[in-house]
Structure 1
Amino acid sequence: MLAPDVPGDDGWRDPARTMASRRVCPAYEAARAGGMDAIYPVFARADPTFYDHPGRRRTLRSDRPFVVTGVEGWRRVDDGIWTYLEPPGAVLPEQGWKIHLSSTATDAEALLRTVAAPCVRDHVPFKHLSTESVRASSNGKDAGREGSGKFITVYPSTVDQLHRMLAELGRRTAHLRGPHVLSDLRWSEGPVFVRYGGFHRMFVDIDGVRVPAIRHPAGHLVPDVRRPGFEPPSWVRIPPFLQSLVDDLRELTPPAGFPEITGVLHHSNAGGVYTARDAGRDVVVKEARPYAGVTADGLSAVERADREAQTLRLLRGVGTSRLIRAFEALDHRYLVLERARGVPLHQAVVARHPLVSADVDERSVADYKDWALGVASRMRAALAGVHEAGLVHGDVHPGNFLIDDEGGVTLIDFEMARPAADEAPAVIGAPGFVAPDGRGGVAADAFAMRRLNLFLFAPMTPLLDLHPPKEAEVRGWVTERFRLDAAEEQALGFAEVSHPAAEADLDALIDAVGRQLVADATPDRGDRLWPGDPVQFDEPVYALAHGGLGPLLALHAASGRVPPELLERVEGTVRDAPARSGLMDGLAGAAASLDALGRPDAADAAVERCLDAPLRWDAPGLYGGPAGTALGLLRLSARHPELVGRARGILDDLADRANGWSDSPTGPVATGAGGLLRGPSGVALLSLALFDRTGDGALLDLAAAAIRADLARCAPAADGSQQMNEGWRLLPYLGSGSTGVAFALAALVERDAGTPLAAELPALERAALPEFVLESGLFQGRCGLMLFLAGRGTPSAARALQRHQRHLRLHEIPRREGVGYPGRALLRLSCDLATGSAGVLWSLASIRDGQRLTLPLLDLPPVDVARHRVPSPGGGDINGIPALSADARAW
């Protein structure tokens, strides 16, 4: 049975799994725990233009720091998020039982004093959040659920010390309150929680994603799983003083009269939203956790649930969700709501929007326009009813309108509702739907509704906050593309509609992107060379994908020049960084990049250190795994022929280990784990690169087998395209989607025109054709599709490429020196190769030159169409390179 999160919820919790968090810093760790995209709002707080480390957020004068006194001689480190306190001579084990304490704003300082005293007395290391704003953010409505509420962490060195500290801290804090830490077991007294986990920062790659790790008794690292519910590793013995609490939890059952939970609609730090049966009817149950999910106005989830119940009683369900009853259980507040028909607006838009399909005709565009105009009218009517009742909604965005199959509309989620006479600015809001001028009341709702009207046609609303004039430009594109007349523009609130920006000359655009890229460099920063995706703080400063080498390669491709001071700076980061194999995030990519940039000595030094670093077999693909390392080595084989043999040896090992790919040949792939960068298609690319150097025909068979493994994870979309199936979505992009598979397959067909897999190319190509693409980036956006189409040569690809080039302007953000491009989630700009301007620049330069038609370092040399397979006579050596083993050929 599914049931809501409650204090000590392990006996009847939602068993649905969430992705393991990924730790680069405490804020990154907490954000990742909330889901793949949760990191972006966290890293958007420090700077209005670029993603940046949360620790660099400007500290307001009103923000109070938390300070522990009486720790003279202790080591104190403050990273802007956590303050670490360690007594002299302390030696922590790698992992063990640790204590977490949570707090409300009122009790935080008292709790810290109370906890610090016994820790200092007994020389027990601990850490605490550094300031009140960080503490509030960690327990905010949008904070990740698993780690939310943690204010203090205590690191006992033994089980006996754990027991003593739990007993004392529970007794000392019994009068204080705090939210439940969902990943932990609650102690019998106070806001005190415990779990088994890592004390040191250790990591392991799972499906190409670096996650926090603990050590298995056998000696290898395994994920340090952090998800709601107390779930220690299977090999860990639970101490008797905790086992009794676990036993109590197992006996916990829902109180009498609690609705029968049938499914989960949504989880957040504030609680959950569930489908249920109540008194014989289908309902929705909305849960509010005590002391958790606090908004900027200081209201907890429980207080907002009470506000919502009061509001719904006033509105009586006219165009809005209808309240059936409200009740309290185990200190949680629950609202039982009539189950409204439909799906959230953003889902309805994705399902119907004609421009996300490969084939678009004007009839489908006109039909969608009619549907969107009808939905917009009914949404405005529902909101008007709220205003007529003397209220404002306060949080208008696509997730709060449900749309049924007939276009009917229901407005939901009235947690932030307030009297219309209250003109205070919005307290919370979805990016792109909050007025930047701070307007409140009805005017704030009206602003969000106008953005909703635009979202129906161009669902890229967060982008508009980066450059307010962009809204008029996007409106102009919508008006032109959907042929809106004057009355329709007026109904949607599209006043002052402008025409779409003129398409820039390709050379002029390349120049503008390059100028701005140089201007945006931050060589004075020790932790980065360019602002990019948040993942840059988890990778070397020089890294190709998210670090300094990507922009340098893009600038070199565009103009043949790079700023010498930036090149010297990145050389220094390569020289000083720890030895790490890998292409996109390691020294193989650094060596190949430096060689391409005319620094052979630095490249050779990087290669030597790369060869000394262990291969990362947990993620065998191109991004950071052995396949990418081998491909990077091949890029230097013209000067170092012996590297061909090293690369071939790596490929043989990959083939021998590939049974895992064939165990489950069909079905969804883990998010981000398929395609060119982290899936088998990357190994196919390595095989083809070695074929070009050795002529061994068995390598073509190996490439085909690897591509076939990725194709088995693709699924047909409604438009006839084949896209990577991640279970919860179909993905067309170059980095981890079907376009990356198509790139590898096209390279195979060029070398082996008779391969039966050639029949798969048209459906894969269709995935790259849609007119509307949310993001511009190289790995997961429009530019990756453009690069693939530029190398195809089919009429449909040529038309789609021209269309993509025209629509690239929708993503452009004018800047002082030129133009920039938004990164993932569209909340901030990015300069890196994977997600930002460097990737755009590389793509544009490649299309201009007609030579580099893939990601940097992955391009294969042109193939003579007359070239034929070279057999491996007698299974012997070819050009001095050992042929594939029989086991490898069988794979």
Structure 2
Amino acid sequence: MCHIIGCARGPSLGAAGAGRPEMGRIVEKRYELYCLADPTFYDSPVAGPDDPGFDLAHRTVPGGWARTRQPGTVAYRPVASAPPGEGWKIHVSARVDEAPQVLEKVGQYCLDRELAFTFVRTRPILHLNNAEHAAPGSSGTFIVVYPADEEELDRALAELGDLLAGHRGPAVPGGLRCGGGPLYVRHDPAAEDGRVRFSRQDGAGSADLPEEAFAPPSHVTPPACLLPFMTARDRPPAADVPYRLEKVLRRANGVVVHLASDSRTGEPVLLKEAHPHAGLDGNGTDAVARLSHERQVLERLAGLGVAPELRAYFTLGDRHFLATDFVPGEPLSEVFAARHPLGGAREAELDGYVEWATEICAAVEDAVMKIHMNGLVLGDLGMSAFMVRPDGGVTLVGVGGARPVLEAVGTGLAGSGFGAPAGAVGFDVDRFALACLRFALFLPLTELFLIDRGKAPELAEAICRTFPLKEGFLRPAVRIVGGGETRDAPPLDDWRQMRSSMARAILASATPERADRLFPGDIAQFESGGLGFAHGAAGVLYALHVTGAGRYPDHEEWLLSRALNGARGARPGFYDGAHGIAHTLANLGHHQAALELVDAAGRGRPAAPGTDLYGGLAGIGLNQIYLGELDRALGSAGMAADRLAGGPPGGTGLMHGASGPALLFLRLYEKTGDVQWLDQADRSLRLDLGRCAVQADGSLRVTEGGRVLAGLDRGSVGISWVLGEFLRYRADPELSAARQRLDRAARSLFHRQPGLFTGRAGALAYLCRDRAGGWGLEDPEAGRQLAALSWHSMTYQGHLAFPGEHLLRLSMDLATGTAGVLLAVGAALHGEPVGLPFLSGAITATRPDAAMETSRAEHG
């Protein structure tokens, strides 16, 4: 027998688990915050949720105070004090239903005592931060209070403890609980760029520590006022339990799943640990309530052979534990990812895959039928809910969401990608999910049904064209998902029609009355400002112009005025800042405005950018060549070369790795003829190649943090593109062989995303990189990729549009959405070569032209 707390804990999945299919749902939950405001596009939670926020977010600011609103948070600070720096901070947690009362008490306390504080802006955001599939580091914190010193920390803890007596809240990861109320203390770093980060920033949040562990940095000594709370934390629990923890299998918000062993028999056991007030589902039910409910469901399903057998249920303090038999095998999500034949060069395996997938469908449907016969509806039915055993059978391992048939309703949320629409009730909730499973095992794009259920017949047709399925297999799934809806397929067979349709969709989405964005795109636009090349107006206007879809003076004016007004100290980068905006302006003839913009952005921003193409020296240097500033470009390249001599950058690929600097060095070699730049390109490309590994299909792909990346931005496609440019000037058998393996990644038929940076559009642009012009396709694979864009095609006001990252909403931006697809299709079909800047051929420097130049005075 042993205390369960204090047993050796194995490492959690941590960063190495980032590529596991079930972990993707955590990422999507961050995007769900931006789904609250609009059913069609990602939008800022500040811009349009029905909930205007807690009263303190919009009431009159007291004299002597400054209030700053950010997406999701509101900060109050005395005007006379400096922004909070590194140090001890009080984190106040709260249940969603108690949040208004807690904020009123803490806010008034801080205002009376002139303590800076920050709080989550709305109830829906607080709910999402504490939701079951949110990132664990985002949970718990509702308010952060910033004491000036240890004396003020001691006083605030005592007074707030009395003030909040009786209130409850979820635990704060990495925080030390102080007293019986919802107060936790952490030593946090200073906020970056004035933005408050509620999740852990330092080593105390490392993956091999329990998520509730308090572990301040080694150079920090805890103040005396915290020692009694640290002593209470270290006191072992009184209860003994017969289970020894072996390792953490999964960590989610409010839940930890352990592999354990029964100390009496040595048998493996699965142990689920739930924390109160955290891990909320859509109804506000927390992890403890769901674990208790799961116990009841397992008792009801005992002996059926569809779920693990229950062993024990017990509590230690406020944490609850459920022990079940350990089911050997792998989650269906992981087996599917390993076997799916369209992700690599395994398309000859289609017959065998179809046989396996249809058998899995039958096994899952049989298990769900047995559960229905017991009067239960699963509700949260996704691939991760089923374990594929070594014998090929399936066991349901996710029953926490099961409900009696009369209580089951659809939520209309994406969830696992199988979420039933609002209005579905009873067994129809699971029938919708099972229909989605039939689609997802062949084309896992079921999130598209959240935008348009009428997409079902198109996807079914695409599946049947690709896989040798028996007739009728998808017919009932189409009927259930489509709900009788039909849609007119947008044009995908004529370039002029496609260009016109995408342009009309983009223009119809424009919001020139807004200051934060012109075209809806990825959630990144709300961090970078909505102007930039990757996610803002600059990239969209560039794509429209170079593909022949037209120029739009009113929208150019929107970009010009906002870019120049906010230029000083702006981010200098190409895809996220001033140089990308300037590139578009110069491309549109506003050359002088472009020069003014980059000059102003360079002032008042002391931090030197990185070496990358996205926001660093590579993109800046390439645009300096374009703007005719070769001397400055040489300076940027020299700085990048010096930094790369110290080792590879933190990221990988064209946008974030060493291939971006390699592109800069190549273009400087073309300009100067100096072979040193060719040597630098060689060294840089080898840095990125060192981050790649040969896959089972023979392709060479980037491996980063447990993920395998093929996309244009961080993966194989972008590296291959720059490597091909390099091989024009220097023959190298080793690099040529590497490029052939990299090239295979662009030829996979399945791409989960449609966009330019991470999806099919990027592969299409790459395949058409050497096209001489006209209407032909130089690479036969390009035709296949072009046709397969229809898998993701949607409509917006009757025009052709595409979804953004995670497929939960439409996007119009260059990196993730419709403008990027327009550019890629233009690379394949436009009468003149088009594409991303700097990637194909030497850069021709632009110059002011009296016939084209538009003065700043003429444009306000």
TM-score class, shorter-chain normalisation, is 0.7 to 0.9
Q: What count of residue pairs does the alignment treat as equivalent?
A: 821
* Deviation sequence 1:368-396 (CA, Å, 0-9, x none): 11111000000000000000111111211
Q: Which of these residues, 679, 689, 694, is aligned with residue 667 of structure 2?
A: 689
The reply to whether residue 840 of structure 1 matches residue 821 of structure 2 is yes
The reply to whether residue 785 of structure 1 matches residue 766 of structure 2 is no
CA change 1:591–1:413 in 2 (3 A) is same
How does the TM-score come out when normalised to structure 1?
0.85
CA change 1:117–1:15 in 2 (3 A) is same
Q: Tell me the equivalent position of 1:239.
A: 223
- 8 Å CA contact 1:476–1:499 kept in 2: the answer is no
Q: Which of these residues, 450, 457, 481, is aligned with residue 465 of structure 1?
A: 450
C-alpha displacement of 1:808: 0.4
CA change 1:634–1:560 in 2 (3 A) is farther
The separation in 2 between residues aligned to 1:526 and 1:71, in whole angstroms, is 23
Q: Which of these residues, 114, 124, 145, is aligned with residue 133 of structure 1?
A: 124
C-alpha displacement of 1:476: 1.6
Range with bigger deviation, 832-841 or 11-20: 11-20
Q: Tell me the equivalent position of 2:340.
A: 353
The separation in 2 between residues aligned to 1:13 and 1:59, in whole angstroms, is 44
- 8 Å CA contact 1:592–1:857 kept in 2: the answer is no
Q: Tell me the equivalent position of 2:735.
A: 757
Tell me the SS of whatever aligns to 1:757: helix
CA change 1:333–1:636 in 2 (3 A) is same
- 8 Å CA contact 1:20–1:211 kept in 2: the answer is no
Q: Tell me the equivalent position of 2:360.
A: 375
Q: Tell me the equivalent position of 1:314.
A: 300
- 8 Å CA contact 1:620–1:654 kept in 2: the answer is yes
Letter of the 1:238 partner, please give it: P
C-alpha displacement of 1:456: 0.7
CA change 1:3–1:164 in 2 (3 A) is same
The within-5 A match list for 1:398-409 is 398-409=383-394
- 8 Å CA contact 1:630–1:686 kept in 2: the answer is yes
- 8 Å CA contact 1:295–1:428 kept in 2: the answer is no
* Deviation sequence 1:160-215 (CA, Å, 0-9, x none): 111101112223333222111113111133111111225654379xxxxx98999x
* Deviation sequence 1:33-67 (CA, Å, 0-9, x none): 99654421221121111111112343259x97568
Q: Tell me the equivalent position of 1:605.
A: 596
Q: Tell me the equivalent position of 2:146.
A: 155
- 8 Å CA contact 1:460–1:774 kept in 2: the answer is yes
* Deviation sequence 1:760-802 (CA, Å, 0-9, x none): 1111111110111111111100011111111368999822211
The separation in 2 between residues aligned to 1:775 and 1:34, in whole angstroms, is 15
The separation in 2 between residues aligned to 1:762 and 1:68, in whole angstroms, is 58
Q: Tell me the equivalent position of 1:575.
A: 564
Q: Tell me the equivalent position of 2:852.
A: none
The separation in 2 between residues aligned to 1:753 and 1:56, in whole angstroms, is 54
- 8 Å CA contact 2:36–2:49 kept in 1: the answer is no
C-alpha displacement of 1:853: 5.9
C-alpha displacement of 1:741: 0.7
C-alpha displacement of 1:111: 2.9
* Deviation sequence 1:326-352 (CA, Å, 0-9, x none): 111121111112122332222222111
The separation in 2 between residues aligned to 1:107 and 1:246, in whole angstroms, is 27
C-alpha displacement of 1:661: 2.1
Q: Which runs of 5+ in 2 are unaligned?
A: 845-860
C-alpha displacement of 1:615: 7.7
The reply to whether residue 771 of structure 1 matches residue 749 of structure 2 is yes
- 8 Å CA contact 1:457–1:478 kept in 2: the answer is yes
Letter of the 2:429 partner, please give it: A
The reply to whether residue 282 of structure 1 matches residue 283 of structure 2 is no
Tell me the SS of whatever aligns to 2:381: coil
Q: Which of these residues, 724, 736, 739, is aligned with residue 714 of structure 2?
A: 736
C-alpha displacement of 1:230: 2.7
The separation in 2 between residues aligned to 1:574 and 1:164, in whole angstroms, is 46
Tell me the SS of whatever aligns to 1:264: strand
The separation in 2 between residues aligned to 1:239 and 1:249, in whole angstroms, is 16
- 8 Å CA contact 1:34–1:146 kept in 2: the answer is no
CA change 1:411–1:560 in 2 (3 A) is closer
Letter of the 2:259 partner, please give it: T
Letter of the 1:381 partner, please give it: D
Tell me the SS of whatever aligns to 2:119: strand
Letter of the 1:791 partner, please give it: R
The separation in 2 between residues aligned to 1:613 and 1:67, in whole angstroms, is 30
- 8 Å CA contact 1:592–1:633 kept in 2: the answer is no
Q: Which runs of 5+ in 1 are unaligned?
A: 22-31, 205-209, 215-221, 638-642, 663-668, 864-891
- 8 Å CA contact 2:8–2:245 kept in 1: the answer is no
Q: Tell me the equivalent position of 1:631.
A: 622
The separation in 1 between residues aligned to 2:753 and 2:734, in whole angstroms, is 33
C-alpha displacement of 1:858: 3.6
The separation in 1 between residues aligned to 2:215 and 2:593, in whole angstroms, is 48
C-alpha displacement of 1:616: 5.5
How does the TM-score come out when normalised to structure 2?
0.88
CA change 1:213–1:47 in 2 (3 A) is closer
Tell me the SS of whatever aligns to 1:523: coil
Q: Which of these residues, 544, 554, 561, is aligned with residue 533 of structure 2?
A: 544
The within-5 A match list for 1:66-85 is 72-73=62-63, 75=65, 77=67, 79=69, 81-85=72-76
The reply to whether residue 809 of structure 1 matches residue 787 of structure 2 is no
The separation in 1 between residues aligned to 2:606 and 2:685, in whole angstroms, is 22
CA change 1:83–1:535 in 2 (3 A) is closer
The within-5 A match list for 1:461-500 is 461-489=446-474
The separation in 2 between residues aligned to 1:191 and 1:144, in whole angstroms, is 20
CA change 1:493–1:340 in 2 (3 A) is farther
C-alpha displacement of 1:860: 2.6
* Deviation sequence 1:669-717 (CA, Å, 0-9, x none): 96xx101111111111001100110111222121111111111110011
Range with bigger deviation, 845-854 or 515-524: 845-854
Tell me the SS of whatever aligns to 1:477: helix
The separation in 1 between residues aligned to 2:7 and 2:175, in whole angstroms, is 9
Tell me the SS of whatever aligns to 1:469: helix
C-alpha root-mean-square deviation of aligned residues, in Å? Answer: 3.5
Letter of the 1:438 partner, please give it: G
Q: Tell me the equivalent position of 1:29.
A: none
Tell me the SS of whatever aligns to 2:531: coil
CA change 1:213–1:248 in 2 (3 A) is closer
Tell me the SS of whatever aligns to 1:146: helix
Q: Tell me the equivalent position of 2:500.
A: 511
C-alpha displacement of 1:3: 11
The separation in 2 between residues aligned to 1:211 and 1:164, in whole angstroms, is 25
C-alpha displacement of 1:854: 4.7
Tell me the SS of whatever aligns to 2:755: coil
- 8 Å CA contact 1:433–1:447 kept in 2: the answer is yes
CA change 1:237–1:272 in 2 (3 A) is same
Tell me the SS of whatever aligns to 2:701: strand
Letter of the 1:630 partner, please give it: G
Q: Which of these residues, 193, 196, 200, is aligned with residue 202 of structure 1?
A: 193
Letter of the 1:235 partner, please give it: H
The separation in 1 between residues aligned to 2:643 and 2:188, in whole angstroms, is 30
The reply to whether residue 532 of structure 1 matches residue 560 of structure 2 is no
Range with bigger deviation, 337-346 or 712-721: 337-346
C-alpha displacement of 1:646: 1.7
Q: Tell me the equivalent position of 1:655.
A: 641
C-alpha displacement of 1:399: 1.5
CA change 1:740–1:424 in 2 (3 A) is closer
The separation in 2 between residues aligned to 1:314 and 1:744, in whole angstroms, is 59
The reply to whether residue 452 of structure 1 matches residue 437 of structure 2 is yes
C-alpha displacement of 1:68: 11
C-alpha displacement of 1:13: 9.2
* Deviation sequence 1:724-773 (CA, Å, 0-9, x none): 01141211111110111101100001122356412211111111101111
- 8 Å CA contact 2:637–2:664 kept in 1: the answer is yes
The separation in 2 between residues aligned to 1:635 and 1:321, in whole angstroms, is 63
- 8 Å CA contact 1:124–1:154 kept in 2: the answer is yes
- 8 Å CA contact 1:98–1:194 kept in 2: the answer is yes
Identity over aligned pairs, percent: 31
